[in-house]
Amino acid sequence: MLTALVSVEPIRDAATLADVGEARLSVSAGYTTIAPLSAVLDTLTLLTVAQHIALLLWVILLYVGWRVRSTRRPTTPVREAGYAAMLLGGIVVAYALAALLPRPMAAIATSDDTVLSIDFHAHTKYSHDGRPGWTEDDVRNWHRAAGYDVAYITDHATFEGAERGVAANPGQAGEGTMLLQGLEAFFRGEHVNILDAGRRYKGITTPDLKDVDDQSLAIAGIIPATTPVIIETIPGNLAKIPAKTMQGTTGVSAIEIVDGSPRGLSQTRRERTRIVRIADSLNLALVVGSDNHGWGRAAPGWTLMRIPGWRGMTTDSLARRIEEVVRVGRREATRNVERRIAGGASPIALAFAGPAIFLRMLTALSADERVMWIVWVWAIALAPRAWRSMRERRATLPAA
């Protein structure tokens, strides 16, 4: 209730950190009904590696403080080992629920019909690091639940998941989440995503689909209007971005400002200012990649792109239009929205990560979610008393 006095929007512009007027975070009745679980599991899913470590240290610190206070009464090593095992089990269960539990998702909703939301980086089971059994249908359902209009399947060294996804697309855009084809490969030592690779652009990689072939890429880029769109993914070496040179060598057209993997979130939040500065200096579009491999039910962000008339386009028409907007508009082509999570990679920020993460989670709640938090808190608080009262009544009943 107190954090309602300093409430903030649950999403923000990923580059400027300002509020986003043309978009909002939409949650379903199911998401709101289990609001405490939804908020906690979303937060766990969207933490950086350092924040995960810091949060676990806070949990352990609080546990130790509780046990020191409790052990003023007699205890035994066996009892303490049991409590420690319960703590470890609770941590494992919490992370397992965040990664595996099917549950409602928070979705993006825009107020402009000419704007579509895009994920430029997702994987299926056909990637070597994809979740077993995570099919193209699962990818489509995950992205639809998060409000994406378009998602690129950019598996490693294979087009199978992308081809299957494209084949099952709705007849036209706007009738459901469209899956488009891409590929994650190496380009001059850096991980990149190549849009429409294997569909419009065939043969621009080595035969094993692991590296971009510079000669084939140069041929594909002879006509500027059809140059392949290549996106620098994160984590990456920002000092080695394969940018277009003065001699005309084809380079990347965009860079991720948000990458949903734990390591990707770590770098994009830690080096956000540098990424924006590089995008400005090299005239690169900023994009969001969920980098989802089948784990978790929280989208880290969305790329918003204005394309009048995109509804009703076919798969190939929409893919080409998106590429054209990135290729021509570059730095001005997109606006990127991210979930608001307590950030900061400095030692001080990490030292107070536990309370900071919890307070940021509470300040980003909607009014309906706050009501459900209060309902759940009271329900949990009163449940033991109700149980004891029921047992006492049963004990006083005369035997049959």
- For 189, 190, 259, the CA distances from 240, given in Å and listed in that order, are 8, 7, 18
Average pLDDT over residues 245-264: 86
**CB proximity list for 205: less than 8 A, separation 6 or greater:** 183, 185, 194, 197, 211, 212, 213, 216
Average pLDDT over residues 64-76: 82
The C-alpha angle 72, 78, 83, rounded to 5 degrees, equals 70
Rounded (10°) angle between helices 262-270 and 272-282: 70
Structure tokens, 252: 């990347």
Structure tokens, 287: 């994009």
Q: What is the pTM of this model?
A: 0.93
Asked if residue 52 has pLDDT above 70, the reply is yes
Asked if residue 173 has pLDDT above 60, the reply is yes
Q: What digits encode the pLDDT tens for the residues 183-220? A: 999 999 999 999 999 999 999 999 999 999 999 998 99
pLDDT score, position 248? 57
Q: Residue 180: phi, psi to the nearest 5?
A: -115, 160
Q: What digits encode the pLDDT tens for the residues 351-383? A: 999 999 999 999 999 999 999 999 999 999 999
Are 83 and 66 a contacting pair, CB within 8 Å?
Answer: no
Render 121-147 in DSSP notation, one character per residue.
EE--TTSTTSPTT--HHHHHHHHHHTT
Three-class SS state of 303: strand
Query: 251, 248, 255, 249: which is closest to 232 by C-alpha?
Result: 255
In sign, the C-alpha dihedral spanning 220, 198, 120, 238 is: negative
Structure tokens, 168: 């099952």
Instruction: Identify the weakest region by mean pLDDT among 97-106, 110-119, 340-349.
Output: 340-349
Q: What number of CA atoms fall less than 13 Å from residue 163's CA on the CB side?
A: 9
Asked if residue 400 has pLDDT above 90, the reply is no
CATH number of 107-339: 3.20.20
Asked if residue 246 has pLDDT above 50, the reply is no
Radius of gyration of the chain (CA): 24
pLDDT score, position 393? 82
The whole-angstrom separation of Cα 79 and Cα 89 is 15
Q: Residue 32: phi, psi to the nearest 5?
A: -70, -35
Q: Residue 185: phi, psi to the nearest 5?
A: -150, 180
Cα(first)–Cα(last) distance of the chain, in Å? 49
* Ranges of CATH 3.20.20 domains, the chain: 107-339
**Residue 71 — pLDDT band, cuts 50, 70, 90?**
low
**CB proximity list for 54: less than 8 A, separation 6 or greater:** 350, 351, 353, 354
What average pLDDT does the structure give for the chain?
Answer: 94
